[in-house]
Amino acid sequence: MAYKIGVIGDPESVIAFMSVGFSVFFAEDADEAGKLLLRLAKEEYAILFITEELAKEIPDLIAKFKDSPVPAVITIPGKNGATGYGLDNIRKSVERAVGADILFKDS
């Protein structure tokens, strides 16, 4: 089985991912993003990137995939740049895995 990589977000934020061969799915709001995430999770996607703006609107849905090997759901900055939401999630995951916050805090 060959796994794929997908990207969910507004067109301006994710269109460039097509140039590297990722499957790109446009979503303008959290409802669209949630439906896409559920649909793609049932398909052969190993990694699903989603813009921070959309991800922070559907945290409970994304949390359902935290303990599954596939798909890995990873937040990426959108057209307005990084909001810190993705880094906060990585920090929480690392802390849960090792029992302490080992990442450097912003000054």
pTM (predicted TM-score): 0.83
47-106: per-residue pLDDT in tens? 999 999 999 999 999 999 988 889 999 999 988 877 877 777 777 766 766 777 776 665
Q: Which domains does the chain have, with CATH numbers?
A: 4-82 (3.40.50.10580)
Beta strand segments in the chain, E: 4-9, 23-26, 45-51, 72-76
